[in-house]
Structure 1
C-alpha cells in the first residue's frame, strides 16, 4: 500500500508557537507517521486553536492535562516533547470520540475528554500513569498485544471485547470495540500507540436482555398448563446465567409462601426453602416485597448460603445480591406470586438492569395470566360443548357471544397448531396448499422455505394415483381417510402417513377448500410388517412341527402295530403249543422246534421294532437337548477301531437280512500317525455314525447293487471338506488330531437342489422321502449339531442315481489306556444307543455265569405292577432271589429288616442290591436313597447299600440329581436285561473292590 500524505493548516492543530506553521501526517499501512515541514520552537502543552470556542468541559479537561506533572514521567516536560508527540497529542485532544495515547516504552497514558466516560472513577488519576499501573486488572491480558504493537509496529483491533475493569469499585463486565495503532517517528521508529475505543457494553448487555426476554416470550406463548408454567418459564432463563444466576418463584397461600419453581440452586438450598412462613429468616424480605408494588433488594445473600453451596453460575464467583419482585398475574392490586432473582456480580444494579428485571417479571405475570386465561377458555369451551349436548336451544342463544370470545382466542389456537404433533394443512379452492404447520413439513419432508405447489412430487410413485384420486373426491364433497407413503431417502425406511381430509364450505354451501391432518405411522406399519413376518414364520414352524409329529406318529405306529400283531401271534402260538402238550396228542419234536423257531423269529421282530422306536425317541431327546443348549461333550479315552467295529456290529444282522455288503477301511494316514487310543466323546461320535449308517441302509435297501463303505483317516491339520455348508466351530485343544470319516453308499443319490436343505431341522431331501423311506427328518440335523459340538464339519457329495458320500471330521487328542483307573470312577454318562446286536441276544445272555454272581438278593422298588412283575420274573429266571416294594417308604421298611441293619436279628433276610424307580407315590426314589445314605451316616445301617436308579428320566440334570442324592449308577427306560445286569456287575464290583468274578454274600452284620 502506498503512503498517503495529509497536510493540514495549523488552524486545526497547533501548539504554543511564536508563528503559524504547517504539520505533516503520513498514514503508512496501519501506522501513523508524524513530521513537520516548518519546524519552530515549542513553548508549552499542546492545545487546540480556538480553545475558547470549545465547551467548558473540554476546556476543563485541557486544564487538567496541563496540571499533570509530566516532568516526572518518562515522556518529560511538554516543552521538550518531540513534534511527533505534540502533533498526535493535538490530534487525540481534538478527536470527538474516545481516544487514548500511550507514549514511550512505559506506555504513559494520555486521553481526551470523551475517553473519561470509559475510565469513570479512574479519572483523573489515570492521566500520566503507566498503562500497567493505570489498568492493572487487564495488563496481563493486554501486555502481549501492547508489546507486539510497540516493538513490531503491528496494529490490532477487536469488536465487543470482554474486559473486566475496576472503574466503579469492583471488577465490572465491560465490552469495548477498540483499535491499537502504532504512531511512528519520522525515522520510522514507534513512539507510541493510539487507542480509539468505544464502550459497547450497553448494547451487548441490551442484546442479551432482549434475547432472554424473547426466549421467555416464546416459551410463554406456547405454554398451556398453569401448574408447570413457572418451572418451564424459569428453565427458559437458563440460557442467561450471567444476569440471572439463580431464580425462584413462590406462590402465595394464605399467610405463607410455597416454592413453585427454581433454577440455579439445589432443591435443599437455604435460599429456597419449600415453605416460608412468619418464622422463616427470609420472611421479612418477602413480606416487604408483597406489600410493595416494586422490588426489594436483598443485599446479604452470602449470609443465607452458610451450610449450603454458594451460587456461582455465570462468572464462577459467589452471587452477593438478589432482588425480589411481586408477580401480578391476575387483575387487582394483590400479587399472586413472588419472584427472587440473583444479580450479576459483575454488573451494577443500575436503571437498565432494573428495567430488564421489571420487564421480565411483568412478562412472567403476563404469561401466567395468559395460560390461566387459556385454561379458562378451554374449560369454558368444554362446558359449552357439554351444555350444547344437553340443550341445543341454549347453544343457539349463546352462539353469538361464544363466537366473539372464540375470535379473541383465535391467535392462541393458531399458536397451538404450530406445536401440534400432527401435520395440519389447508388448501384453497384450486387445490394449492395455503397453510401447513411445522409438523406437516417434518412428516412430508417439504421444508416451509420451499414452495408448496409441488408437494405431490414427494409422494411415493406407487401411491401417487391413489392420493390424487382421494384429493379429487374430497373436492367433490367426500371426506377422505387413507394411508400412503412418501418418497424414501437413500437407504432409508419407508415413511408411511395416515391422512384425513374434509372439504370446507362457505355460507352458500360451495366448497372453498380442504382442511386436513396427517400423522406419521411408519413405526406402526413397520411393526405390522414385522408381526406379519413373525406370524408367517410361526405358521411355517407350526406346519413343520405338525409334519414332524405326523412323521413321528407314523414311524412310531408302524412298529407299534407290528409289535401288537406279533405279540398276538406269539400268544396264540404258545396257547396252541400248550394245548398240544396238555392234550397229550401225538406230536413230533419237529413240530415243537418249528413252533419255537417261529416264536423266536417273532420275538426278534419285536426287538427290531422296539429298537427302531427307541432310535426315534433318542432323536427327539437329542433335539430337545440341542434346543436347550444342554448337549455336552464328555471326552474319554477309548480305542477308535473297537468303537467303530462295535457300531458296525450293531448293524450286522440288518445288513445280512437286507443283503447289503459293508466295508471298513482305515486310510494309511491313520496308520502312519500310529493312532490307537484317542480322547473324544464316543457316545456323540457313535450317534453320528449310527445316523449316517441308518440313512445309508434306508436308501440302499432297494438298489440292485448294495454296498456301504466306511473310510477312516486322520490328520494333524484341519481338513477342508468340499461343498461344506456348515459353519466351522473351532475348539482349542493341545496337539489336536482331526479324525475324518466318510460313509459312502450306492443308494438313490440326491438332486442338485436337495443338498442345501439336507442338514436343516425337520427337512428331508424331498416331501416324498418320508413316504418312500420313512424317518423324522431329524437325523442329519442332529448329526450336524453333534459334529459342530465336537469342533468339526459335515458335508455331502452325491450324484442322482449313483449314491452319496457323507463326510465329517471331529477334533480329538491322543489318548491312553485307562485300565488302571477305569474302576475308580463312575462310568461316563451316555444316553446314546448301546452297541448291542439285538439279534445276538438270546437266552445265553441271561446266564448267571456271565456275571460270576451267585445267589444274589435284589430288592425291586417299583410302583408299576406290570414292570415290577416282568423284572422280577426275569431275575428269578436267572436264579436270583427278589423282593418288591411299591414305593420308597416300603423300601426303607424292608431294608430295616435286612442284614444291613446294624442291630440285625437272626431272621434278617440277606440283601445285595436295590433297583429303585424314581417317580413313585408316597416316597420317590431320590428321597428314598437320600434317607438310606443318612441312615448309613448315623450308623443305623452297616456298610454301603448298593442302589441303581431305574427311570425314564434321561436328561443330564435329572441324572446328576440322582447321583447327587446317592445313587451308585442309573439305567434309563426302556432297557435290555443284559444292560441292567452289566450295570449291576459294575456297581457291585466297584463297591466290593473286585474287578472280576464278583460274588456277593452277606454275613449277619450285613457286610459284604
Structure 2
C-alpha cells in the first residue's frame, strides 16, 4: 500500500483549531481556489491572524471571503464553523448595513477605517444581541497592486460598556435616594434615574402596596396611561403581572409575551419593544414586601444570573432608600413628640413648683416655731424627729426652688436684675459658709478671692446659686484633701475657679456634665441624691450673665470648674442694670446649703459587741441618706439588732464581718447601688440565701415588677409606713428561717430537682429562640452587601477586561466564594424564618406547589435528563412558603445526589389510622407524601443524623451544599404538626416520607 504524505505550507502551520479547519477546508470550491495557489499577500495575512492572540479576520477578493483565527470564534458564536469561506455579506447580513459601507471604503478607496465601541446588533446565538466592538479595517495590497482584501483586528467592549452603564445607574440611584426624605421623592428619583438608562430599562413602573388590603397604587412610571393608577390584587390585570405570587413568595417573576398582552410598549433606546418584563418585590422592612417594581427587559440581552443580580440590586437600593425614609419619618415624629413632652415637662415643673411652695411654707413655719420655743415638753427622740422633719422640708424646698428656677429659664421668663457687687467679698463669704462642714469632714478649704479693678455687675441671688452649687458639688464628691475657691480678673473678666481633690470625672462623661438630668453612673461620693440639674442650672445662670463655664477633670485626681463673666455693664441689657448697690440683700440660701453639706458627713457607727452576742436577728440597713438610716435604725432597733452602711461597697465589708439575716437597701447610691449589691449577694453561694428588701422612690406597678425582676425578695416604694415595713421584715425573716429549716431536713428534694430542670429547659428554649432571631437578622442583613460584592466584582472584572489573567483569577475566586456564602446565607435565613410565629395556615394546593418547584428546576432537569413522575397531590392546610421550601429542598436533593439519569417519583395518599406513626396524634387525619429517587442513597444508620443542621454525609468537593436543607425540611414538617422520615440503601437511592395533617 502506497502512503501519501501531505505537505503543510509554512503559513498554515499551527493556528489551533482554525489552523486545522483552514487546512482541511475545500478551498477549491470557493473563489479563492486551493491554498497552494493563494497570492503571497493573502498567505502573509493568514499567517499573521493565525499566530495572533487577538480576534482577527481576513476578507479576501471581491466577494470578501471570510477567514479568521481562534480568538475570533467567540465573536461569531453559533455561526462558527459554518461561516469559514463564506462571503462577509452573508456572514454578517444582520449588521451589513453598518459594516458594509466601511468595507467598500476600504476596498474601493484603499482607505482604512476605525470605530471605537460601536454598537452592533448581532444574531449569532439565535437572537438579536447587543454588542460593542472596537475594530479597524485595513486594506491589503495584492501581489500585482491594488487592494485585494481587508484585515481586521477586533476588541470586544460589550462587557465594559454594559458594566459601566449599570454602575452609573446604581451610583446615581444611591446618590439621589439618600437625599430624599419622603417615599414619593424616592419613587420620583428612582424613575428619573431609570429613564437615564433606556438600554436596560426600556420601561419601568413602581406600584406601592396600599394600607388597604389587596390594593396596589402606581407611584412612578415611564408608561403613560398604560397601566392603571390603582390595582386591586384580585383583578385580572394584577393576575397578569403575577402580583399576588410575587408578594406571597417574595420572589422575582418573569412576565412573558408582553407585546401580545399590551401591544408595543415604550422601547427605550431600541427599535423594538421588549416582549419580557420582570416583577421584582421591594422590601423596605425585613421580609415584608412594600412595593413592586415592573421592568421591561432589554430585547437584545438574555436574562442570565448576572443580569438578574443587577435588577435585584436596583430593587434592594430602592428598598433601602424607603427604609431610610421610614426611619427618618419615625425619627422626626419622635423628635416632635419629645419637643412637645419637653414643653409639657417645663410647664409641669413650673406649675408643680409653685403648688409645692404653699404646703411647704405651712410645714416649715410651725416646725420652726416648735424648735425655737420651749422644747422641754419633747423627749430626745421627739426633738430628733422634729429636726429631721425640718431639715428634709428645707431640702425639699431647695429642690422645688431649683426646679422653679430651671423651668423659668426654659420658659424664657427668668429675668436677672444686675447690681454692682464687690464680687471678691461676696464670694469669700459664700465659700466661708462651707468651712465648718469641710473642716469637720477632715478636709481643708482654701479661699483666695482678690479684689477686682473693675466693678462686676451680677444678679446677687443667681451668683449665690452659682457659687453654692459648685461648692456643694465639690464637697459631695471629695472625701479627703482640699477644696479651693479663687477669684481673679483676667482679660477684663471675673474668673471664678472651684477646685477639688475628689474622685474626678471620667473623660467620656465630661461633654455631658452640663446636660439636664445627667448624672455619672456609679460615681463615688457622699451621696447619690440630687436632681441632676444643678450643674445645668449653673450653666444657664452663667449664660444669663453672658459668661461661660468649663470643667477640667481627671478620674481619681479631682476637678476644676471655671466660671468666667465679663466685667462692667456694657454687655448687659440696660433695662435690667441698676447703678445702686443692694447691700441690704439678705439670703438664707448659704445656711441651707451648709446644713445639707454638714449632714452628708459620715459618722462611723460604734458597736459594743451586741451584734455578735445577741439572739435577735441581725438586719443590715444600706442607704446613702443619713436621715433615712437614722430613721430605719430607730424604727427597727426595738426588735432587731441593726447594722448600717452608706452604700453597697461598705455594705459588703460589713457582711464579711457578720452575715445578717436580712438586708434593707436603697436602690440609688454612690460607689455601688442597690441592684449591684443585690447581684453580688445573690451570686455568692455564701450570701445567696439572704433576703433583700429594696427601697426606691420609683412608684408604680412597673417599678415593683422591675424590682422583683432583678432578684429582690421584696420591694417597697418611698414613702412607706412604719407598720408596713415592720410587717414585711417579720415575714421575710420568718420565711428565711422556715426555708433554712426545710433545707436542713430535705436537701435536693425531687421538687427542687424538677424545678431546676424546668428552669434549665426554659433557659435553653430562650437561648435557642435568641439564636434563631440572631441567625435571621444576621443572614438577612448579610444578603445585600454580599450581593453587592458579587455584582460589583463582576462589573469591575468586566471593566478590567484584557488587563491580565492574574486579576481574572482573583475575581473568579471572589465570585466563587461569594456564591457559596450566598447559598449558606439563604439556607440559614430560611431556617430562621421557620420560627416566625406570625406565619398563617391557609388552604394550600400541593399540586400547584409542585408545578412551581418543577418550573424553578426546569433548566437543571433538562440538563440532567431527569424524569419526574407524580400522582395528583391534595390540598392541605399549611403555610405556602414553607411547603414550597419543602418541595424545593427534597426535589433539589434528589437531582443533586443522582450521578446517572435521575428518576424522581412523588406520590401522595391518606394514611390509614393504624399506620399513623406513634409520634403523631391519633385524633388527627394525615396524608403521606413520598419523594423517591434512584440516587447514591446512604446507609440507613444515618437516617436520623441527616436531619441535623450543618450535617453532611458526603465530601463537600463531591456534592456542593450547606448541610441545612434537610434540617429545614424537618422543621417545616414539625411546624405543620407532622414529621419526616428517611429510608435509603447505599447506591440504590433514597426515599423521604412526609406526614402532614389533612
Q: TM-score range by the shorter chain?
A: 0.3 to 0.5
Q: Which has the higher helix share?
A: 2
Larger RCO, structure (CA 8 Å, separation 6 or more):
2
TM-score using structure 2 length: 0.34
The structure whose Rg is larger is 1
TM-score (norm 1): 0.33
